[in-house]
A and B are shown apart, each in its own frame.
Chain A
Amino acid sequence: MQPSSTPSRSNLAGWLYISPLVLVLVPFFVAPILVVLAASFFATDGFGGLTPGFTLASYVEVLHSALTLKLYLATIKFTVLTWIFTLIIGFFVAYFLVFHVRNQLLAIGLFLLCTVPFWTSNIIRMISWIPLLGKEGLINQVLLSTGVIRQPLEVLLFSDLAVVIAYVHQLTIFMIVPIFNSMARIDKKLIEAAIDAGASRFDIMRLIVVPMSKSGIALGTIFVVSIVMGDFFVVKVMSGGGSASVVSAFYEDVGVLQYPTAAASAVLLTLVLVAIVSLILRTVDIRQEITR
């Protein structure tokens, strides 16, 4: 009976191996998504009460609203700007750490230094921009005292600029880490071989370093894009209420007890994000990076 009992036993062992992950993912990821999905099809009495059933009314409402498109455009604008700046800064910080800091201990030290902003909370990090960017902030004071401007610049704080600054400040590390990781795996001999072939520093970056960091760039992009698209708090605080994002709309919906509309917006956003992430994964084979 040995042969027939082996498959079921190995099946059991397989389930045991994945059980910790399942125990985390099912209650904290799968269940909430199913709840939201179900709620998005429910009807509401307008006062927070949900009537189980199946109606597409919430989706129709969300998709027909001109606000939805406006919010998506605003969110995508923040996402793209944040992505560009975090990518540029993250790439060059990682490049510097991997290829220019000869001493590995120093590289690790500098790398840890990049995480210092994370030793404090998100809110404090945002508040700390106020003395710098505010109307009476450091930048305005310097510009006023040097006579560059007569009136303090209002655009620095509580503006789209401030939102992007805060995002870049918070999220650059999410670019640095995966790019650093994939760059650190590039054999230094390859760089030498490229120099030997007569490649300039720019050629090496363009033809060797960037293509070989692609998967790190893709991973960092996924982190940054999904965080920015799923955020409402930074937008709210740093724009002073002047700008909104997709998520801030359904946060408002929740506030006024419009649960099905909020749920439908959430499902829509999830689908958009899934589309973006699968687009990224189609361009870059990240699995190759993880299994390498």
Chain B
Amino acid sequence: MKNDRGDIELAGVCKSFDGVTNVVDGVNLKIADGAYCCFIGPSGCGKTTILRMIAGHEDPTAGEIVIGGQNVVGLAPAQRRTAMMFQSYALFPHLTVRENIAFALRVRGMSKADRLRAADAMIEKVRLTQFADRLPAQLSGGQQQRVALARAAITEPRVLLLDEPLSALDEQLRVQMRQELRRMQQELGITFIHVTHTQLEAIALADLVVVMEQGRIKQAGPARDVYAHPHDRYVAEFMGGQNVLSGRVEKVNGASFTLAQAAPSGIEVPLQARPTVSVGDKVDIAVRRDDVALVRPGKDLPPGCTTSLPSRVLAIEYQGYFVKVMLDTVPDDQFVAYVPEKTFFADPFTVGDVVMATWATGSALPLA
């Protein structure tokens, strides 16, 4: 009986190439059947190695990889019923689009007529019918990517693994192919695991975003959780969109604590996420860049704001629907406010202006 479940469980997975350092260091993760999961992290964080271990191109040094309830360590890729789409696609240069897509069926011993029929159906699905007889070198980057996707999907795998599938494309095409990947995933209804180093790609596509650093998972969860509620400074900085500040706890008062700052008011932070904070602890907090409001000195703060930090405007970048204002609010870290375009141009600042950076107290997030 064919087991079509594509749920994946990684249990204590480690990988070491030299026997000394672990490239992947004790990774535990559950991915639901039919989920779109993105692994994200800087290069060398082990995300591609995890992908290759799930695909069966690399064996874990320790730990188990379970797909659909079956431990697949030691099985060949075809036995796992996974398929991989390689970075820069690895299309067979001497075979036409149709032969490339039919390759897996050919080596499975399917008759020529059957496999060409199946390949043509798949070619239609990825809208390449008029290119079926071309060689890969005669296709554009986006078309090559579709061939690679079709070649991987033709065996009806339960898991499709994509290694930086969009990195070879230019920006515009990338956004377009991103939607196509999502559409294919929903159409096929199988688990997609996608490795990327682009935050936007991950949060736009994934049901489950896994942020990695040095072989470990820093945070895994739905895109919105990871972006809006990062666990720690690393995730906050890597995912972007957050200002990270640090300081010592000055006083703890009921539902909030205050972070010592040069500013007279200090920074008030709600306690919800970090129940155990005592005076003197060094704490990181995150404030979303689009939650920061800029007020001219002497003016009233917006309602709900108890913290205001005097800052000087360092640079201004117009971004279309918002304006990116860079400030010297905190000495060692970047501090940026995303001001809606209309708000900004109602009373525009110039470089060198002194402003008060403020935000609603509830939007400050203590980090681990």
Contacts and interface: CB of A to CB of B under 8 A. Distances in A.
B86 A189 contact: yes
Interface string B165-190: 00000000000000000000000000
Q: Which residue of B82, B88, B104, B151 has the most chain A CB atoms within 10 A of its CB atom?
A: B104
A203 B107 contact: yes
Interface of B: 55-57, 76-78, 82-84, 86-88, 90-94, 103-104, 106-108, 151-152, 155
Interface stretch (A82-90, A190-198, A220-228): A190-198
A212 B135 CA distance: 14
Contacts of A155: none
A197 B102 CA distance: 10
Contacts, number: 59
Contacts of B108: 198
A67 interface: no
Given A203-B107, A207-B103, A197 B86 contact: no
A106 interface: no
Interface size class of A (residues with CB under 8 A): 10 to 19
A207 B107 contact: yes
Contacts of B90: 187, 189-190, 192-193
B107 A196 contact: no
A193 B103 CA distance: 10
Interface in A188-239: 189-190, 192-200, 203, 207-208, 211-212
A198 B103 CA distance: 9
Given A190-B92, A211-B94, A196 B83 contact: yes
B92 A196 contact: no
For the complex of A and B, the 6 pairs showing the least CB-CB separation, nearest first, are A198-B78, A197-B104, A189-B90, A193-B90, A199-B107, A203-B107
Contacts of B84: 192-193, 196
B86 A198 contact: no
A195 B88 contact: no
A198 B104 contact: yes
A198 B88 contact: no
A196 B57 contact: yes
A198 B93 CA distance: 18
Given A192-B57, A203-B107, A207-B103, A197 B88 contact: no
A192 B48 CA distance: 14
Given A189-B87, A196-B83, A198-B76, 11 more contacts: A190-B90, A190-B93, A193-B84, A193-B91, A196-B82, A196-B152, A197-B78, A197-B151, A197-B155, A198-B78, A211-B94
